[in-house]
Structure 1
Amino acid sequence: MYLYLKYISILFKSQAQYRLSFWLLTVGQALTPLTVLAGLYFMFAQFGQVKGWTFYEAALCYAVIGLSYALSETFARGFDMFSSLVGSGDFDRLLVRPRSTILQVLGSKFEFARLGRMLQSLIVLFWSLSKLPIELTFPKLFTLMLMIVCGVLIFSGLFVATASLSFWTIQGIEVANVFTDGGREMAKYPLSIYEKWVTNFFTYVIPLGCVNYLPLLYVLGRTDGHQLRYMLSPLAGVVFILPCLLLWHIGVRHYRSTGS
């Protein structure tokens, strides 16, 4: 953990050297997702409700996923850029160091400007909660925290799985963005508005629905059945990241140097 924090400190100092550029990037990252929120607002302004969901309920869903993705993109960005290490042969240097390759790749890249997205998502989160008739009990606050943390695990798992493919393909596969960027955009809306096969895929294969839709039903008081099942559904994120890490270790064992 000390080494990981050292990585964070070094990269933050390097990115903050040009302060104006850093803060402009941070502000830009905070403002860019507002176009999606604006689209969400105008859609609900036109139709009122979408399959029983109001604007503020959808905004809460948007904020949870936006916050999870921003945190994952900030601290797991090294995996998103990993294919360049394999292609250049620089991954060899990581293998000879007496530390975990996962830790070293995590520490190779941090996008602190992405924290602007996190701030924007936090503002939308508190704003939507203030507009909804929700009694924020401790179990509901705990569920919200679990949604965000396990959302980070799912997106980080997707980054790890995508990076692992580089051991066999050398270059990153663009189609993987369907599940990272595409999954993020899809999960900003309640899953019940999609076709059943989409709902099933993003519940049982890539369990984004387990960190936004199902626990959100509990937070909003719309559960049908035992509440504990909805509260603990975000733990699917822990289950999801395990095979992603296993795929990484398999890839490392099968890695062949470029010889450069």
Structure 2
Amino acid sequence: MIAPLAAALLALQGQPDLEIGRDTGPRVVAALSQEVVEIRSDFAGAEIILFGAVTDMADDDDLVVVVRGPAMDLRVMRKERTFGIWINRSPVRFEDVPSYYSVASTRPLQEIGAFSALRREGIGLEHLRLSAPETERTEVRLGVEVTVSDIASEVIEYREAISRNRRRDRLFNETTTGVQMLEGGLFRANVALPPATPVGDYTADVYLFRDGRPVASGSVALGVRKAGLERVIYNFAHTHGWLYGLTAVALALLFGWGAAAIFNRR
């Protein structure tokens, strides 16, 4: 671990613009112990280490690490009991919901950054942007455009349901002491990927906060890929969907016929 951290510190000398809104000042560089995670049939989760270095870091500065998975559209429905039967009703479609979202910081977020700064960068589950455009409209109030929900209370419940379910599957996570500061501006944080980790391109962003606002940031990419036979099946299903469907039906009929034949002989 010492060698990669030292390399990260030396790499700062050749880093391009990593600051937010500044040409000079502190700089952040980050790297991962593993840039590609392969998912096979026996995948039970993985833990990778994000490490890096910061220059010109003050004693009161804080670091926040945010890992975001590939975004997807999500259709959420409410279960309602009708004539003794549970039926899904009142669907709401959310756009660009991160399939994975993890936050780690040196201290609780409310002690690190101002509400506006956290909301602007989408840092923390409380500030995660979950947009339902079909239920929202834009209005001008006091000369400022604001987004208003037609069913605000219901949308809030739907958002809470998304967060609750993702937390249960360990796809949403927030750790207030997950970033460990080392000597010389070096840092490290653990990124836990659960068994249900979605496939796709991930981004790990490291924010340096000073006086309640981010003054520098660095980013590193992480790829989660299917491997082995799972990768072949996954690619086949996504590139030839109709043929994959026909093959699945044919195999189901074949195995069903085979099982019936065996039991009839007995």
TM-score per shorter chain, which class?
under 0.3
More strand by share: 2
Normalised by the length of structure 2, the TM-score is 0.22
Rg larger for: 2
The two structures have a TM-score, normalised by structure 1, of 0.22
The structure where helix makes up a greater share of residues is 1
